[in-house]
Structure 1
């Protein structure tokens, strides 16, 4: 069961604008998918979001390889922390904000009036919601594959 619903209409804009955001190209290249990942099963490991100021959302994430280990578990690679940073948060809707979260799907889109961007994510557990604001950028910090 997922909480919330990442707006599927945003997916079209998500694909069209992904390379225009600062740092998006590095994220796309790191995961090697040819597009921005949806961050399925990523851990929301930190968030500092409040309207009227800068804010960020940090995701601990990886790439699923499609291979399994001898115990039958999927093998992951390309582990990283991806930080989505807004220079100014203008609108915020969060649920379960005090609980760390596991992302179901995350989308990025431009606001209809062109004044900024929207990040929407649903979750299988914990925090979910949407953030709107100006000056969205992404940073990627590669990391080892140590357990959570």
Structure 2
């Protein structure tokens, strides 16, 4: 099992440690994930948001992993709680510029923490309700809409 470090917070480190003893675990850098995908049976990623149309917001690097998985013919599964199905756009902003560059040159810094992964790169969404297809994701979104409109 390969586990990405998950910068900037490093959440993947604790995840990797939690699997030691049950699996052979290799912690790798986020940048190296696409190179590890070819040897995988599946790619599992989390999500900060899943939109009704199947797009997914997650940490930067998820799209590269999904593209590598597509090229290798390996499924990409998003694993998250059903409450991550989002009705509104999720902000996808940059981190503090100083975390990437703190020099004196007059240059712009682009260091996003999150990115949008197109639905075409996602093979399934798995929640506490089981594996959701696109109709199921839309159903969950409709439930969330009803709750949002309830007064």
Q: What is the TM-score normalised by the length of structure 2?
A: 0.23
**The structure with more helix, counted as a fraction of residues:** 2
**The structure with more strand, counted as a fraction of residues:** 1
- Considering Cα pairs closer than 8 Å and 6+ residues apart, tell me whether 1 or 2 has the greater RCO: 1
Q: Max radius of gyration: which structure?
A: 2
